[in-house]
Amino acid sequence: MNSPCTPSPAPIDGTEVTRGAVDLPGVDNLRDGLLLDLLTGAQSLAESLDTLARMAGATLSQASGGAADCAVVLSAGKHTTVAGTAGHPRALASRELELGEGPLTDALATGLPVAANHLATDLRWPHYRRHVRPAGYRSVLAVRLRLDDGAQSALAFFAARTAAFPQAVVAAALGFADLASRSLSLVLELREARTSAADLRSALESRTSIDIACGVIMAENRCSYREAFGIMSKASSHRNIKLRKVAEDILDNLPEGAPRTHFDH
C-alpha cells in the first residue's frame, strides 16, 4: 500500500527529518548490489528478508556510529513474514504483531518514521515496552517500505544506548528504505513470476501424465478416452488420492518405466 509522499516526514516523537538529508555510506555500491544480494543464494523469501535485515542493520550501525540490530516485517496477502539480524529483533517484531502496538505498527499505519530514543521514559506502547527493555534496548526506530500490489513492509532498528536515532540517523534510515523498497518490490515480482511458472509447469506435467496414462488404459481395454478417464477417476475417488498420482502409478508400472516428457528438462 503506497503512502502519500511527505517532503519533511516527522517521527511520532517529534523529531523533524528531511528525507535524504544525509548521504548513505557507500550508497552507489549499495544501490547496485542490494537487489542482487536479496536474490543471490536465497532459497526463500524469508532468506531474502534476512539479508535485507543484515544490510539495514549494517548501514544504520555505520550511520549512527554504534551497533544497531534490525527486524523486517512483510505482509503480502494472508501471509506475514518476519526476519531479523538476531534472535531479539525477530522475536520483538513477532511479539509486536501479536500485541498490535509498537513502532512498526505505527510506521505502517502512518507511513512516517517512528523513533523512541528514551524508552525508559517513553509512555507509548506500554505492553510492547515490557518486552523491549528486558532485551537490552533503549532506543528503537521504525521506517516503512513503500511497496506495490497491497504488500506492506517496515524495518525496525534497535540500539542498546539512548538517543541512538537522532535526525541524521533517521534520514539515513529513510534513504536506505527508499533503496530497499525498490529492490524488495522487484524481488517480490520475480518470486511471483517464478511461482506462476512453476504452477504452470506442474499443471502441464500433470495433464501430460494423465493423457499418457489414459492412452495406456485405452490400449489395454480397447476403450475410448472418456471411458479411460472415467476408470482413472473412479480409482482416484476409491483410493482417495489425486488423479495425477493414479496416472503416475500406472506409468511407473510400465515395463520400460514412466516415459519422459520435455517438461522434465
Closest CA to 155 of 144, 164, 168, 167: 144
Is the pTM of the predicted complex or chain greater than 0.75? no
d(CA 130, CA 30): 35
Q: Tens digit of pLDDT for each residue in 170-200? A: 999 999 998 888 888 877 777 665 555 454 5
d(CA 201, CA 65): 50
Delineate the domains of the chain, giving CATH numbers in brackets. 27-194 (3.30.450.80), 196-264 (1.10.10.10)
Mean pLDDT of the chain: 79
Closest CA to 172 of 69, 31, 73, 25: 25
pLDDT attached to residue 74: 92
Closest CA to 163 of 66, 257, 252, 83: 66
The residues, ordered by sequence, that sit 6+ positions from 129 with a Cβ below 8 Å of its Cβ are: 119, 122
pLDDT attached to residue 94: 94
d(CA 113, CA 103): 8
What's the order of all strands across the beta sheet hosting 79-84?
A: 79-84, 69-76, 152-159, 139-145, 114-116
